[in-house]
Amino acid sequence: MELSLSLIAQQLVAGVSLGSIYVLVGVGLSLIFGLLTIVNFAHGALFMVGAYVGTYVFLKTGNFWVCLVAVPLATALIGLVAERLLIRPLYGRGIDYPLLLTFGLAYVLMDVVRMLFGVQGERFETPEALQGAVDIGVGMFPLYRLVLIGFTAAVMLALWLFIEKTRYGLIIRAGARDAQVLQVLGIDVSRVWLAIFGMGSALAGLAGLLAAPMRGVSPEMGIPVLVEAFVITVVGGMGSLGGAIAAGLLLGIVVSFTTLFAPEMAELSMFALMALTLIVRPQGLFGRKGLMS
């Protein structure tokens, strides 16, 4: 296969756009795990719910920008209710209790979607305003993928500014390090944990919406995404937001170029990347040792 600059650029854009979906999913999962030490097995189901909510809202309104607001709010609400009523009573009982609970919650959400929308998949057409291609000098690239990359970058920048530069972000970081200190200062730690779980759930739903035009919509679409999210978390480092971003983009590029040269090896490539990372750096690219202890 002859490699041209245009072909390499096309695969790179495809990889970064796929990586943008991975980033949103991985950061949401890493946010919940890193700050709450909860292995959220319902994360993939929230990704799927986001895609279905987006499909429903888009059919009703015909406005994709409304979906960008409605979907994160809907999945954040599900996350808030799940944390408050189901997960909170399990804090302090060990990491396996919320793991098993969220595993069951994932199947409940899938069955609810099957009852509401059926077992057949749905098509989610790319919004008319985002169809077509754009010439950026080295070739023609789908407009939707370019917008997806820019939008994800904006979301990550906003999240970083919120966590690093705001008072509430300082409280979140402090709560992740030592919740007892916040309690001594009179801060309600439970509200901090609630907000974190809501933010992670919102990112999962947003990723599902943005992936829908590229992947389609089905009740089982969250299962492989959950696997990919955990690969990103392991490669980037448990609990590292920067690591999740780097790992998501790297994974997208690796899968994209593997698809070009050996399509049958595309899925295997992500696990090969994870295995290589664990051999060279067991705690991940930006992870810290001892998080699970």
Residue 18 is encoded by which pair of tokens? Answer: 């796929």
pLDDT for res 238: 76
pLDDT for res 187: 75
pLDDT for res 178: 63
User: In the chain, which stretches have pLDDT less than 70?
Assistant: 1-3, 173-183, 185, 288-293
pLDDT for res 289: 60
pLDDT for res 64: 93
pLDDT for res 175: 64
Q: Which amino acid is at 211?
A: A
- Name 211's Cβ contacts closer than 8 Å, sequence gap at least 6: 21, 47, 51, 221, 225
CB 201 within 8 A of CB 76: yes
What digits encode the pLDDT tens for the residues 171-212? 776 666 666 666 676 777 788 888 889 999 999 999 999 999
pLDDT for res 293: 46
| Entry pTM | 0.91
**Secondary-structure percent of the chain, ordered helix, strand, coil, rounded to 5:** 75, 5, 20
pLDDT for res 267: 86
Structural domains of the chain ordered from first start: 5-123+130-280 (1.10.3470)
pLDDT for res 266: 87
